[in-house]
């Protein structure tokens, strides 16, 4: 097993809130260096799956195993902080920036963990190179920026963690179409530069499939379809009919 393998494997996970079960026997794999799309419309369990990976929700059945730099970790029982410190970063739904702090402070908060501090300068330079807007607005309060700028900041802040695996929950939400495609492009750029393994939840199938190697479709908490290439997903009759409107 190579020392730079970073993958995530979800095996038969059930999860929910109280008595309400949301995820039903979900299995999904993201291999090292892949970009995998988790596709599904609103309320089907995408964010719940992200929460399970981050330890915010606990599966009642199944396992989640992350492989970081070739070493396997069962995530059950780890705190969210420990999971992040392994090298798994989440850009959460709704971005969750610190609105009353500046752009720069938000970015530096991303680099809080000791393993990320050593790379602050190079990572910050790279973020400012990819998102020049953030460099211009360094001292502006995060809460006073536009939606597109906030999404850039959320992505950049996750990169400051110096992660191996990047999870992105619905980056397109609330953005104008042009900004959606820019954000998706940025994810691809960041992925290539940092050699990341990416899992992206999206309901915008067309945009997500532009950069995804593979994808899963989740319906009512069950994986209904697994496409081994973007083409396979694009050409699937069910998806064409229901989601792409063709």
Partner 1 sequence: MQFDLLINAIIAGLMLGAFYAAVTSGISISFGMLDIVNIAHPGFIILGSYIAYIVNVQLGADPIVIAIVALPAFYALGSIIYEIYYRSFEKHGQDSLRGLAFFFGLLFVTEVVLNMVFGVDYRSVNVPYIGGSLTIGWMEFPIRMLVPAVVSILMFGGLQIYLSRTFIGRAVMAVSQDPQALQLMAVDPIRIKRIAFSISLATASMAGAFLIIIQPVIPSSGREYIGRVFAICVLGGLGSLPGTLIAALLIGVIESITSTFYGPSWAPAVSFGLLLLTLAVRPSGLLGR
Ligand X SMILES: Nc1ncnc2c1ncn2[C@@H]1O[C@H](COP(=O)(O)OP(=O)(O)O)[C@@H](O)[C@H]1O
Q: What is the binding site for ligand X (CB under 6 A)?
A: 17, 20, 22, 40, 42-48
Dist CA 158 CA 88 (whole Å): 9
Report which of 155, 165, 169, 240 is spatially closest to residue 205, judged by C-alpha positions.
Answer: 240
Question: What's the angle, vertex CA 53, arms to CA 52 and CA 59, rounded to 5?
Answer: 35
Question: What's the angle, vertex CA 190, arms to CA 90 and CA 43, rounded to 5?
Answer: 35
Site membership for Mg ion, residue 44 (CB under 5 A): no
C-beta closer to Mg ion: residue 152 or 218: 218
Site membership for partner 1, residue 69 (CB under 8 A): no
Pair 14, 25: CB distance under 8 Å: yes
Stretch that binds Mg ion, among 17-25, 47-55, 205-213, 227-235 (CB under 5 A): 47-55
Site membership for partner 1, residue 101 (CB under 8 A): yes
Dist CA 135 CA 139 (whole Å): 9
* Interface positions, 107-166, toward Mg ion (CB under 5 A): none
Tell me which of Mg ion, ligand X, partner 1, none is bound by residue 97, counting a contact when its beta carbon lies within the kind-specific cut-off of 5 to 8 angstroms.
Answer: partner 1
Give the helix/strand (H/E) hosting 103.
helix 103-110
Per CB under 8 A, the list member of 43, 70, 99, 132 interacting with partner 1 is 99
Site string for partner 1, 19-58 (x = CB under 8 A): -----------------------------------x-x--
Site membership for partner 1, residue 117 (CB under 8 A): yes
C-beta closer to partner 1: residue 32 or 106: 106
Q: Residue written as tokens 């393993």?
A: 115
Site membership for partner 1, residue 112 (CB under 8 A): yes
Question: Radius of gyration of the chain from Cα atoms?
Answer: 17
C-beta closer to ligand X: residue 42 or 139: 42
Residues whose CB is less than 8 angstroms from the CB of residue 228 and which lie 6 or more positions away in sequence, other chains included: 214
Query: Sheet harboring 20-30: ordered strands across?
Result: 20-30, 7-17, 61-68, 71-74
Binding residues for partner 1, rule: CB under 8 A, are 54, 56, 79-81, 84-85, 89-90, 92, 96-101, 105, 108-113, 116-117, 157-158, 161
Binding residues for Mg ion, rule: CB under 5 A, are 46-47, 93
């Amino acid at each position: 097993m190579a020392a730079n393998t970073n993958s995530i494997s979800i095996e038969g996970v059930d999860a929910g809130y109280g008595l309400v079960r949301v995820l039903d026997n979900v299995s999904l794999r993201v291999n090292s260096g892949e970009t995998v799309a988790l596709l599904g419309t609103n309320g089907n369990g995408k964010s719940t799956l992200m929460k399970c990976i981050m330890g915010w929700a606990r599966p009642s059945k199944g396992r989640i195993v992350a492989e970081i730099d070739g070493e396997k970790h069962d995530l059950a029982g780890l705190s969210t902080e420990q999971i992040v410190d392994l090298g798994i970063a989440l850009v959460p739904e709704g971005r969750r920036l610190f609105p009353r702090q500046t752009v720069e402070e938000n970015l530096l908060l991303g680099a809080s963990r000791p393993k990320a501090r050593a790379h602050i300068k190079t990572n910050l330079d790279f973020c400012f190179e990819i998102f020049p807007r953030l460099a211009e607005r360094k001292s502006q309060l995060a809460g006073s920026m536009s939606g597109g700028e906030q999404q850039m900041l959320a992505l950049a802040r996750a990169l400051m963690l110096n992660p191996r695996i990047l999870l992105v929950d619905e980056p397109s939400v609330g953005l104008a179409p042009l900004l959606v495609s820019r954000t998706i492009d940025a994810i691809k750029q960041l992925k290539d530069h940092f050699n990341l393994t990416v899992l992206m939840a999206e309901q915008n199938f067309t945009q997500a499939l532009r950069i995804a190697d593979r994808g899963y479709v989740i319906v009512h908490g069950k994986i209904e379809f697994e496409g081994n290439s973007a083409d396979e997903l694009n050409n699937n009759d069910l998806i064409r009919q229901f989601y792409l409107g063709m």
